[in-house]
């Protein structure tokens, strides 16, 4: 990736356990459970954090709308990064 070549680090790759972190893709009509197969949502940092906690969001049934739709055509990713002072 060009951003990594420019000195940025992908926070997900620093996450302990190295799960795949797939976020793509739900069916177009958002009514069918996804078979996520690729990472398209990425968090970059220009510093290497000491600790990273990262998770994929929007893949649990509890995330569906009251009418049973998924909130987006792909899952999201969130990270909490701790940097040295």
pLDDT above 70 as % of the chain: 99
Q: Rounded distance, CA 72 to CA 53, Å?
A: 23
Question: What is the pLDDT, as a whole number, of residue 35?
Answer: 87
Q: Which residue range is the domain that position 53 belongs to?
A: 2-82
Angle at 15 (CA atoms; ends 9, 21), nearest 5 degrees: 90
For 2, the enclosing helix (H) or strand (E) is: helix 2-5
pLDDT in tens, 3-36: 777 889 999 999 888 789 999 999 888 998 888 9
Q: How many domains does the chain have?
A: 1
Unique residue bearing structure tokens 């940025």: 8
């Amino acid at each position: 990736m060009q951003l990594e070549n420019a000195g940025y680090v992908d926070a997900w790759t620093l996450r302990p356990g190295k799960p795949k972190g797939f976020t793509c893709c739900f069916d177009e009509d958002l009514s069918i459970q996804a078979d996520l197969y690729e990472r398209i949502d990425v968090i970059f940092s220009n510093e290497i954090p000491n600790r990273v906690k990262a998770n994929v969001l929007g893949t649990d049934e509890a995330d569906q709308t009251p009418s049973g739709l998924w909130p987006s055509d792909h899952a999201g990713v969130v990270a909490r990064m701790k940097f040295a002072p």
